[in-house]
Every structure is written in structure tokens, then in C-alpha cells.
Amino acid sequence: MAEFVYPPVIRTALTVFKALDCQIKIIGAENIPAKGGAVLVSNHISYLDFLFAGLGAFKGGKRKTRFMAKDDVFKHGISGPLMRGMKHIPVDRSDGQPAYDAAVKALQAGEVVGVFPEATISRSFTLKKFKTGAARMAADSGAPLLPVILWGTQQLWTKGRPKTLTKRHVPVTIMIGEPIVLAPGDKPVMVTRRLRAAMTEMLEQAQRDYPGKPTGPDDTWWLPAHLGGTAPTLEVAEAEDEAEAEARAEKRAQR
């Protein structure tokens, strides 16, 4: 079936990245399967991560990734038609089963499905706890897990910071790990631990090799605390997430 929306979106994104002179480095592109289903599993540090993770899959094997995203994005007047046109998968957080079923069906049909197992952006820029959905989808569909690590994207637009979409010359690392193929009987919890361990190692490598450095004392916010930056620790970030979730729940209750 012809794709009318995805190709121009990809071309537009590439044009913008070029105009901003984003120094994009893709590592492990050979790990993208040429065909067949795969669960692309990425860390989440920016609102733009789906663009960069999708770019890694596209550059590596001309694969178009169908990302799972909260259904609010699909209700927006501008992003909604684009998301539907690119065949992304809406997730209702109050009932995720329909989205899960749609994702497994897409995987069985040979699609690449993108998942952010941390569910929300990590304010600490370290890996949060992973949900087991990606491993369960891989088990139910027979598709491999494809670990992806992004680094540098947080400098452009992340939670709790102003957009800096016009910032130029930002290095962005897209690292694609070797596929993780599940064996019969593998438990999703154990597979998720294995996946997170692999992605932790990848993230540490991406951080070590990253060419970008803070430009001054006010530019250390995008570095994790354990690397000398001023980003909140994982514990502080989780407390902020909980407070934000409680505020949203209270606002919904007042409607």
C-alpha cells in the first residue's frame, strides 16, 4: 500500500536537520533488519525522539517505524492527521489492550513498531524503570527486540525546558544495538532486564564518545548528575514525575 504521508515527513525532517547542521551520527545501522517485524525500543530524553529513532531505522534499512504514542497526540488538529497518516499506534493509558493488540498485529505483518519502555521522558537523562510491554510484544509476535539509544536530542526540546528548536550544530548520536531474539519460554521480566542492561551499556558508550560539551556553567543542565551536570538525579526526577501525575489527576477530577 502506498505511503502518502510518511515520505514527505521524512524529507522535511531531513531538510530541517540539515538546515540546523545537526551533527547526526548513526552507529549500528547494519543491525536494522531488512524485512520482517521488529520492536524498536528507544530511551526517551526528548519530545523529538521518535524523529531521530525513526531516522535510524530509515537510514539503516529504509524501514518506516510505527510508534506507539499517547492518544492525546492523535486528537490534536495538526499532529493527529500526520500521526494517523504515518500509521502510528494510539495508546489510551486507561485501557492499553487495543493498542497492544494493534502493535502485535503490525509486527506479525512485518512492520517495525517503536516503543519507549520508560513511558515518559526521563528528566534525569538516565534510564528509568522499563515496562515489560516491549518484551511481551516480541514474545507474542515472534519479532526481535531492537535496542536504540539516543543522546544529544535533549538539547533541542525536553521536558521542563524551553524549546530550542533553532539551536544549531547540536551533535546527536543514534546507536542501534544487535537484535535480541527471544527463545521459547523466555519470561518478559527477565527479557526486560536483559534489554535494559544492554541499553545501559549502550548509553554509557554514547555518553563517553559524545563530541558535544557544555558551553559554560549555564549549559550543564543536559548532562546527568553523575557526569557532573545539573540535571536532577533519577530519584529527584521520579519525585517530580509523581507530583506532575498527581496534579494532572487532580485537574481531571475537577472537570
The residue-averaged pLDDT of 157-184 equals: 95
Q: Is the pTM above the cut of 0.75? A: yes
Domain with 199, as residue range(s), is 6-218
Asked if 239 contacts 121 with a C-beta cutoff of 8 angstroms, the reply is no
Digit-coded pLDDT (tens) for 36-81: 999 999 999 999 999 999 999 999 889 999 999 999 999 999 899 9
Asked if 171 contacts 207 with a C-beta cutoff of 8 angstroms, the reply is no
DSSP collapsed to 3 states, the chain:
CCCCCHHHHHHHHHHHHHHCCCEEEEECHHHCCCCCCEEEEECCCCCCHHHHHHHHHHHHHCCCEEEEEECHHHHCCCHHHHHHHCCCEEECCCCCHHHHHHHHHHHHCCCEEEECCCCCCCCCCCCCCCCCHHHHHHHHHCCCEEEEEEECHHHCCCCCCCCCCCCCCCEEEEEECCCECCCCCCCHHHHHHHHHHHHHHHHHHHHHHCCCCCCCHHHCCCCCHHHCCCCCCHHHHHHHHHHHHHHHHHHHHHC
Residue 245 in any domain: the answer is no
Asked if 94 contacts 203 with a C-beta cutoff of 8 angstroms, the reply is no
- State residue 253's pLDDT score: 86
Digit-coded pLDDT (tens) for 185-213: 999 999 999 999 999 999 999 999 999 99
Residue 247 in any domain: the answer is no
Q: Is the dihedral of CA 66, 53, 198, 180 positive or negative?
A: positive
Residue 84 in any domain: the answer is yes
The residue-averaged pLDDT of 221-248 equals: 95
Residue 239 in any domain: the answer is no
Domains identified in the chain, total number: 1
Residue 254 in any domain: the answer is no
In sequence order, the 6+-apart residues with CB closer than 8 A to the CB of 247 are none
**CATH code of residue 178:** 3.40.1130.10
Residue 251 in any domain: the answer is no
Residue 37 in any domain: the answer is yes
The whole-angstrom separation of Cα 195 and Cα 202 is 11
Residue 250 in any domain: the answer is no
